Structure 1
């Protein structure tokens, strides 16, 4: 498990430093003159993140309003192209915390962003099957059909397919198996990965919940098992009385449990950090204060997380463990960065990202260091 020491800057053991020649360095910023800024964009995933909690508590809005800056939600934008920035990070003066596949994909494609903090909150990850399948353990998956969601022609990264494949690979590896030992059944969906609000097809809910295609395929007998994760995954497994064939969300080997939601980065675009470093440092300081608040208010923290995801509070305790409120810190530990390096390599090998890039060079520790000094003061 990554060590959890908020606001402590630790040199990379590899000997590399974060962005040594970047214009985001403290020296370069000392000569920057900030242009007036009226508003910033933000987005977060329905997941346990300190950014989500800070937003729901009103801290983020108040922090920016104190500087005369309004905060605009990418997810609530009326412009479909603007909403896609939830995945592409295309908007200037924006920040995001959530699943790591979209920001890795955006950085691989050339979008200049910086990781200014990381939250590691482990969660339920499993391959499940119906009792009637006769599959009771991971070894039983050999020769069986495992469903994988897929969105053909997706203009952005197919993060749901990547997430499922990483989970399946992890489950198989625990039994000495590989994807060649099973039949991967791709379940095509035409629904785009676009954040929408007020969509009548959602029947009054905020969004489409995951695993619908997999559940239908399982009911039709087209597949024997599929991957689920998080609170939504554990609720679904409970609802259908599934057999948990392989569970590895809390496995001691981080390479097994690394996936889209583990860990979750806080990213900002390079222009934002270069031109308005103080605002970014204030943001990091504000989000960083969630850890202490959550430890002192565990029930309230879980209530906010459950509301963000749209599940009951018991599902959060079950999926993320009894100490979920203790794992909402914002840090930049070498172990966390190494996790990104490993997962980036997986995404590159499976063709989910176009080019390789230096993950350690993606990290910018200066806002976290500045936030630590401010909070200490």
Structure 2
């Protein structure tokens, strides 16, 4: 990439991230993003601080110019599928707790026992793209394959899941979670099987003494366990890359630095992720394991293949309108520049 000649024309830079482990979330909490651009006079804005519904929709459709998004990949894939001109400049893979659960004492103990059972499949009609439903269906599909069952062997029970709170990207907070409707359905006997995930899911499963049938996050094939959670995508709008490539490289460099910082600060990393997810350190560790070892932003081959595999799933299941070629979506140049500069510094 070449240095843009008019970076001084950029007055504000937007970013958004999900309330999940991301290197951007860590960099943001450390103050690295605002510090990086302070001398340039660029105002840094985050959607998490906005209440404007029109702006907040960019978390899903990425319509705001000069913006970055790091988080679950379904909205990013959906936006690209609909023609939004974005590029993937980095990926991060952290395997997480993704659990298919039943009531304690149930006779459903492994995937083959799902035959004839009722599986909770909530829908979230207020979401532009129902990433939570996609995650649930992906996990159930894998579990049925492990149990050598067909979808005709089970019954998917559809119901309305918990909506987002108002028109705000609410920061994760202790005690707040999205799993209330499926827990209620399980408790009332409307369904036999539910899916929950992440550090909040791990905490809920423990508090309710729920019985694990299958942890999708531990499937041995990364191309199968690729999901909304892995790999998470760092995307940027094409216009920023075209007109301000150096800005994109600088933000990516700070996010990339989190990989080494996290390995050197494991306890601090867990604590920061706890703040991102709204859960105590013990549940962060339970859900994500040694995530401080996995805060790198890369474009490694298995992550690229995993993203393509999950993108194909979304298209096959009609969550997205058009197929997406992941390799064409990726722009590796910013990361190549970051790595080259880092190698030069280390060699000096």
Distance 1:38 1:299 in 2: 36
Deviations 1:288-317 (A, max 9, x none): 000111111100000000111000101111
- 1:261-276 equivalences under 5 Å are 261-276=229-244
Partner of 1:87, secondary structure, is helix
Consecutive unaligned residues of structure 1, counting only runs of 5 or more, are 1-25
Residue in 1 that maps onto 2:79: 106
Q: Under a length normalisation based on structure 1, what TM-score does the superposition of the two structures give?
A: 0.87
* Residue 365 (str. 1) matches residue 338 (str. 2): no
Residue 195 of structure 1, CA deviation: 5.7
| CA distance 1:371–1:298, change in 2 (3 Å) | same
Cα distance change on mapping 1:258 and 1:193 into 2, 3 Å = farther
Equivalent-residue separation in structure 2 for 1:61 and 1:44 (angstroms): 15
* 1:128 alignment partner, SS class: strand
Q: State yes or no: 1:175 paired with 2:130.
A: no
Partner of 1:161: 133
Shift of 1:207: 9.3
Q: Is the 8 A contact 1:60 1:283 kept in 2?
A: yes
Shift of 1:178: 2.7
Moved over 6 A (4+): none
The corresponding residue for 2:54 is 81
Distance 1:207 1:67 in 2: 39
- Aligned counterpart in structure 2 of residue 243 of structure 1, from 211, 214, 224: 211
- SS for the counterpart of 2:15 is strand
Secondary structure (helix, strand or coil) at the match of 2:220 reads coil
Match of 1:317 among 285, 292, 303: 285
1:351 to 313, 318, 323: 318
CA distance in 2, matches of 1:211, 1:166: 17
Q: What are the ranges of 5 or more consecutive residues in structure 2 without an aligned counterpart?
A: none
Matched, 1:281 2:249: yes
- Normalization by structure 2: what TM-score? 0.94
Q: Is the 8 A contact 2:96 2:288 kept in 1?
A: yes
CA distance in 2, matches of 1:345, 1:193: 30
Native 8 Å contact 1:76 1:83 kept in 2: no
> 1:73 and 1:135 mapped to 2: Cα distance?
44
Higher helix share: 2
Partner in structure 1 of residue 220 of structure 2: 252
Per-residue deviation, 1:35? 6.2
